[in-house]
Amino acid sequence: MAGINRFCVMATLQAARAHMLGLKLDEAYSWGLNRAIFYAAAKRGFKGGSGRTSGFRETENRPTEARPDVFRLGDDMAYREVRGGKTLFTIGGKVQGEADFERQVASRFGEKFSAAWKDALDLLGNYDRDTLLSQNAFYRDVYKPNRDSLVEKWSVLVEGQVKKEKAVGRPSRP
């Protein structure tokens, strides 16, 4: 089982944020994974870019024209596709669905994902709606000050699960 990292924390917190702001759970998982991929790409520098995000910063608050493929969550935005009545978010032409979230994020927690999800919802409950609606405030006030403590807390949670599995004689994974 792979460890818990900042990517998992971002995806989980963003999914919880989206769910608290009204998205259905499967749509919230899609949003969470999409935003985690976005921030990871921004940190590295977008494909074909120089690694600098000044152009992004200059345009992030400029409203985009109303388009059917753009979804706004507060002042944050992502591209979307609607499939079978469900909103799924895309980045780089690739859709992030609930199964992708399960595979790339929730699977790292094993049976402890529900406990981490509850932690995320509880944490976000401490912030006002305006903070959750703001891309910058969410990053600055929620994610950034909590990311490392959540990596540590959720890693311990998952490690405790692994130790318990070994103690009861479950075969370890190769």
How many domains is the chain partitioned into structurally?
A: 1
153 or 55: which leads in pLDDT:
153
| Distances in whole angstroms, Cα of residue 112 to Cα of each of 49, 115, 154 | 37, 5, 9
172 assigned to some structural domain: no
1 assigned to some structural domain: no
Residue 69 has pLDDT above 70, yes or no: yes
156 assigned to some structural domain: yes
Structure tokens at 67: 């388009």
Band (pLDDT 50/70/90 cuts) for residue 169 is low
100 assigned to some structural domain: yes
13 assigned to some structural domain: yes
29 assigned to some structural domain: yes
Residue 109 has pLDDT above 80, yes or no: yes
Domain region containing 50 = 6-167
DSSP string covering 73-108, please?
A: ETTEEEEEEEETTEEEEEETTEEE-HHHHHHHTGGG
Q: pTM for the full model?
A: 0.83
Strands, E assignment, 40-84:
70-73, 76-83
Band (pLDDT 50/70/90 cuts) for residue 173 is very low
Determine contact, residues 15/98, Cβ cutoff 8 Å: no
Radius of gyration of the chain (CA): 17
126 assigned to some structural domain: yes
Residue 61 has pLDDT above 70, yes or no: no
132 assigned to some structural domain: yes
